Amino acid sequence: MKNNKLAETLSNIGLSDLEAEVYLTMLSLGPTTVLKIAQASGVKRTSIYHVVESLKQTGLVTIEVKGFKQLYLAEHPEKLESIINIKKEELIKNLPEFEAIYNLKSKESTIKYYEGVEGCKNAYEGLIRDAKADQFYYVFSNTDMWYKQDPKYYTDFLNRRAKKGIRPKSLYQYSKFAQELKSKIELYQHKIKFLPEEVVLETNLVIIPRRVIIHRVNPPIMAVVIENKSIVQMFKVMFEIIWNSIS
């Protein structure tokens, strides 16, 4: 009987529906013949040869020869992980070419919208990717609302940012949690100043040379990412004026 959940997992890593069906069937059969695979899977015998050969090329099926019989055996499911790793390595190898196609330098500006907590994480992943240790990284933040959206993810984000040697300047809405972050200056390599206590932020702002991220931290959670030199420069100057005005 077909396990829809497992079949879907196999499809997600690149197997066709028939390949997924045949591989799942073979896992429970052990060394067997094409005829038995066809009977157990319900796939036509005329199609089985092609599917099994395809699985063999993928590395998920091996052949055992016993006497004059040729038996087919599904590889251990751990082999699936190696297939994913191969696909990942291929992606990493070709990523520069994908990025070349995605080149936005010819455009004066771009605006992207992200919705929900998971969508906004994509905007922050862009920061980790593009921010440089020797460039400015400015933040206006209500750290409490920002962090509570996903404490595990944002703790990891802060750690990864620090490992890249990025030294942000941050203007935080005053809170006990913001004070805790300030006390971890050596861990996160940041400089923090507090906005006046009466200031309440519902939107975070991050400024790096390449873009500005405007992140709404209360529902409906969303982010707008703007890539425009003039707008980045305006926000940069605005941040520096406020930063220098706070002791």
Contact 32, 26 (CB under 8 A): yes
Span 143-196, pLDDT tens digits: 999 989 999 999 999 999 999 999 999 999 998 888 887 777 666 678 899 999
153 vs 122: CA distance, rounded Å: 11
pLDDT at residue 1, rounded to an integer:
44
User: Would you tell me the crossing angle of helices 34-41 and 45-58 to the nearest 10 degrees?
Assistant: 110
Q: What is the CATH code of the structural domain delimited by 106-245?
A: 3.30.870.10
Band of the pLDDT at 107, cuts 50, 70, 90?
low
Contact 125, 156 (CB under 8 A): no
Average pLDDT, the chain: 86
Domain ranges for the chain = 4-79, 106-245
Mean pLDDT, to the nearest integer, of 228-238? 94
245 vs 156: CA distance, rounded Å: 31
Span 2-42, pLDDT tens digits: 567 888 888 888 888 888 888 888 888 888 888 888 888 88
Is the domain 4-79 a CATH 1.10.10.10 member?
A: yes
42 vs 35: CA distance, rounded Å: 10
